[in-house]
Amino acid sequence: MRHPVNPAVSRTSTPLLIVLMVIITSIMASCSMSIANETLVAKDAAPDKLSKDQSSQGEHSAHSGKIRIVIDAGHGGKDPGAEGASGKNERDYTLDVALRVSSLLQQNNKYEVKLTRSKDVYMELEDRAAFANDWEADLFLSIHGNTYTDSSTSGTETLYSNEQSLLLAGIIQEHVADAMGFRNRGLREEDLKVTTLTHMPAALVEIGFLTNAKEEKFMLSEKGKKLAAQAIVNGINQYVERG
Ligand SMILES: [Zn+2]
């Protein structure tokens, strides 16, 4: 059956116009709504942005926007630390690695770095922590080599003292254990002076056992020292990016 064309058009034209008008009106309404929303968002965003800027200025005003890192070479001077399997002292090893870590970190201009000691001198543990606190450091890392009566004991471990240091300790531990290829002994929570008295995230890494002849040999080698220092720096970089 054929439909009459003209009457049909004339019958539907009025509703069509209404539909079109409704569509146009609703488009206009939604446009003005989205404009209104944007205005609202912009108004809301402004104070947010301001408060963020203010808070970051507050945190870093004394730091000129840089992250402050204290690297602590364990022992020193009158305190030789562990005596390695070869008879060498831990204090010299920790200083060597700490100096390497410090110079690697200083290549990155987002960091400000200080060493608790840069030569073979003794510093009280309390003073090491106070040094980092007074400078308002963001991160503290103490470098050590381990010791045990059983010379077969081996591996890397990282010590920490509180919840705020757990992430830092974990990341450092993974990087150092991986790089050195030693047994991963994991993390240990301990009440050490340098990690309890410091107000910022703080960890103490025992790179390996100096009393284990095999580990000591690698730790004291040029390759071993380079790897340890780079692993610590990689860990710090990862921690800073996450935090
Ligand atoms: Zn030590």
Q: Along the 243 residues of the chain, how does pLDDT read in single tens digits?
A: 444 334 444 444 555 544 445 544 454 444 444 433 333 333 333 333 333 333 344 344 456 789 999 999 999 999 999 999 999 999 999 999 999 999 999 999 999 999 999 999 999 999 999 999 999 999 999 999 999 999 999 999 999 999 999 999 999 999 999 999 999 999 999 999 999 999 999 999 999 999 999 999 999 999 999 999 999 999 999 999 986
Cα separation values, 167 from 42, 135, 143, 202, Å: 36, 22, 17, 10
| Residue 214 CA to ligand 1 centre (angstroms) | 18
- Cα–Cα–Cα angle for 236, 79, 159, rounded to 5 degrees: 35
208, containing H or E segment = strand 202-209
69 Cα to the center of ligand 1, angstroms = 20
Region of residue 202 (left: phi > 0; alpha: psi -120 to 50; beta: else) = beta
Please give the distance, rounded to the nearest whole angstrom, from the Cα atom of residue 97 to the centre of ligand 1: 13
Cα–Cα dist 1/16, whole Å: 24
Instruction: Compute, in angstroms, the gap from residue 87 CA to the centroid of ligand 1.
Output: 15
Tell me the CA–centroid distance for residue 1 and ligand 1, in Å.
100
Q: Output the CA 237–ligand 1 centroid distance in Å.
A: 24
Asked if 50 and 56 count as a contact pair (C-beta separation under 8 A), the reply is no
Instruction: For the full predicted model, state whether its pTM sits above 0.95.
Output: no
**Checking DSSP bridges between strand 67-73 and strand 139-146, what pairing results, if any?**
parallel
3-state SS, residue 135 = coil
Give the alpha-carbon dihedral of 147, 152, 158, 160, to 10 degrees. -60
Contact 92, 120 (CB under 8 A): yes
